[in-house]
Amino acid sequence: MTGRDGTSDGLSLEEATAIAEHAREGRLQLDDPEIRKLVGEANRILVRTQMWGETPPTPRRRWKRRMLAVGAAALVAVWVIGLLGPLLLRIAAE
């Protein structure tokens, strides 16, 4: 599967490691732009994994994080309205 930018969404850490190793050893033909993109993506995944200690988030995990952030923002908004709403209504009534 390819994403919007032409890179694959489902490249696992093991695949990225194998691709990067093959590229380092010169087994891949880097003249092909598609292979170069794939090697670049594999290197990005390896660097991100080394930096953060985990595999990059999948689209499903990104969606869950977004929903969690939206839910937390909604909870805070309701809390602020509940806290300040009666005060503002009382000031407006005077």
Q: Using only C-alpha atoms, what is the Rg of the chain?
A: 23
Q: 44 and 73: one domain? A: no
What is d(CA 30, CA 9) in angstroms, rounded to the nearest whole number?
A: 21
Task: Find the domain containing 23 and state its range.
Answer: 1-56
**Number of domains forming the structure of the chain:** 2
State residue 22's pLDDT score.
Answer: 93
Q: 51 and 63: one domain? A: no
State residue 75's pLDDT score.
Answer: 98
Q: 32 and 71: one domain? A: no
State residue 11's pLDDT score.
Answer: 84
Q: 67 and 51: one domain? A: no
Q: What is the 3-state composition of the chain as percent helix, strand, coil, each rounded to the nearest 5? A: 70, 0, 25
In the chain, where do the E strands start and end? none
Q: 32 and 72: one domain? A: no
Please give the structure tokens belonging to residue 79. Answer: 């809390």
Q: 11 and 47: one domain? A: yes
pLDDT values of the chain reduced to their tens digit, one per residue, 94 residues: 444 444 445 688 889 999 999 999 999 988 999 999 999 999 998 988 888 776 656 677 778 889 999 999 999 999 999 999 999 899 988 7
Residue 64: half-sphere exposure toward Cβ, Cα within 13 Å: 5
Q: 49 and 75: one domain? A: no
